[in-house]
Amino acid sequence: MDTRWSNHMPAQRTLLLITASSPAIRRVRRSRVLNFQQITMPYLAAFVPPKWKVIHIDEEVSPIDITIAVDLVGITFHTPSAFHVYDLAAQFRKRGIPVALGGPHVTLMPEEAQAHADVIFVGEAELQWPQFLRDFEIGRHMHRYCSTAVPALNAVPMARKELYHRRDFTGGRLFATRGCPHACDFCAVAVMYQRKVRARPVAAVAAEYASFPGKVVIFWDDNLASDREYAKALFRSIAPYRKWWSSQVSIQAGKDAEFLEWAAKSGCKQLFIGLESISQQSMNGVRKGFNRVEEYVRVIEHIHEHGIAVQAGIVFGFDQDTESIFIETLDFLESAGVQNATFNILTPYPGTPLYQRLERGRRILTRDWSKYNGREDVVFQPRHMSPETLLEGYRYANQRFYSGTSLYRRLIRSPVGLWWTLPLNLAYALALRSARQDAAADRGELLVRCASRRSSLESVSAINASKTRSTRG
């Protein structure tokens, strides 16, 4: 229990909520055109009693004024921003302002986070956050609030819209479900939510969906296809609003014709699918063997047949990946006519089975969390290539995917949503180019390395292809 703050409480209390970013994340995200904003703080604000004045600062938009007069600070963050947040927390705490921390990194690394905060929230906070605020008001709060059981989402409020202030080209964002039934080695979700999938009532989700003035809505679900019957009921109830939406789903969604039919009818324009890898061995190796690589083309075609674009989530660096994975993946994405892709470098987030496995094998190269960004740094020793090759292969993938030739090959193969996928691809190509120039300027380098790397990756691939041909025949 901490009773230090009770004597200092003014009549109206001010709570500063911070959606943290960090120099590392800003660098990573500057190549993303759609810089999506996070729900967490506008959502947690909806649980705060009206007697509190709530200020939200999203660090992607404005810097934190460390001298601001507030009674309490709450910060949400991901692993790459951890050190930056600890620094921020120290500055507020030095002024005597208590700091509460929560989010994925805190849930996965509670002991570390506890050392930098007055109070931490481990796991989901729908029950513990209001409890803490009550405790805080009477000056008797605990240092740690743990979600002992996963909360039901039957009666959660809508996020407070006035607290969103980032321009991200979407009209609204919400979640319908939480959790995922799978237990992929590299994913933090299975660890955080104990594989328990829960859903908000369809009517409540539809009401929030309808309440957004804008046309484009994102469902920030872990896997909107976790419960496909629920999803279909949801699609039926949001169809009348005639908005456009996108979400993340597992590959099973692409095999379910009824799911796709209702998704399309309700305005789904794009599905993000974690294909992860075109190597079945890699998928088996990280407990994602339910992704059947031989089905990818058919699944993508099936989604396209419903007029829905595909954004493929791709990860490089699995233990079975060799240098040829980069070119083979790009060849695949082009031949399948994938409209968009997000490439990631395999990153063992602390607390995941992947992290534990690599740690046991002494393959973790750094515990500098700012490097756990999945885009700029390799933090582990890959099995069949050097960290440098993995990084350059990842860069090659991005450059090739957004090159004119690839764009032409992909979009000619499947012109689904061409009117928006073409401008978006072009915007990404430009953003990537200027991010590369900025990064090169940061590093004081000339932009010559990728071109030479491309030709060396292509010669490795040519050698591999000729080896495969000779073994086959």
Using alpha carbons, select from 272, 40, 77, 314 the residue that is nearest to residue 186: 314
Of the candidate residues 42, 98, 104, 348, the single one contacting ligand B12 (CB under 6 A): 104
Residue 468, classed as helix, strand or coil, is helix
Residue 141 CA to residue 175 CA, distance in Å, equals 30
100 binds ligand B12 (CB under 6 A): yes
Of the candidate residues 28, 45, 150, 217, the single one contacting ligand B12 (CB under 6 A): 28
Binding footprint of ligand B12, residue count (CB under 6 A): 37
Q: Are 111 and 143 in contact (CB under 8 A)?
A: no
CB of 402 to ligand B12, least distance (A): 17
Is 154 exposed, middle or buried, given 0-12, 13-18 or 19+ CB atoms closer than 10 A?
Answer: exposed
CB of 127 to ligand B12, least distance (A): 9
- Buried (b) or exposed (e) across 183-204, using 16+ Cβ within 10 A? ebbbbbbbbbbeeebbbbebeb
Using alpha carbons, select from 194, 167, 218, 2 the residue that is nearest to residue 100: 2
Q: Are 81 and 24 in contact (CB under 8 A)?
A: yes
- 374: tokens are 């999945």
Of the candidate residues 84, 375, 410, 453, the single one contacting ligand B12 (CB under 6 A): 375
126 binds ligand B12 (CB under 6 A): yes
Residue 340 CA to residue 355 CA, distance in Å, equals 28
Of the candidate residues 187, 260, 310, 385, the single one contacting ligand B12 (CB under 6 A): 187
117 binds ligand B12 (CB under 6 A): no
279 binds ligand B12 (CB under 6 A): no
Of the candidate residues 124, 208, 276, 377, the single one contacting ligand B12 (CB under 6 A): 124
Interaction pattern, residues 199-238, with ligand B12; x per rule: CB under 6 A? ---------------------x-x----------------
58 binds ligand B12 (CB under 6 A): no
Residue 370 CA to residue 377 CA, distance in Å, equals 9
349 binds ligand B12 (CB under 6 A): yes
CB of 429 to ligand B12, least distance (A): 19
Residue 246, classed as helix, strand or coil, is strand
Of the candidate residues 15, 48, 163, 188, the single one contacting ligand B12 (CB under 6 A): 188
Residue 108 CA to residue 106 CA, distance in Å, equals 5
Q: Are 17 and 78 in contact (CB under 8 A)?
A: no
Contact range with ligand B12 by CB under 6 A, out of 186-194, 278-286, 399-407, 417-425: 186-194
Of the candidate residues 5, 13, 43, 316, the single one contacting ligand B12 (CB under 6 A): 43
CB of 409 to ligand B12, least distance (A): 26
CB of 73 to ligand B12, least distance (A): 8
406 binds ligand B12 (CB under 6 A): no
Residue 290 CA to residue 277 CA, distance in Å, equals 12
373 binds ligand B12 (CB under 6 A): yes
Contact range with ligand B12 by CB under 6 A, out of 86-94, 125-133, 264-272, 409-417: 125-133
CA triple 80-82-84, angle to 5 deg: 100
Residues near ligand B12 (CB under 6 A) are: 21, 25, 28, 36, 38-40, 43-44, 74, 76, 78-81, 100, 102-105, 108, 121, 124-126, 129, 175, 187-189, 220, 222, 344, 349, 373-375
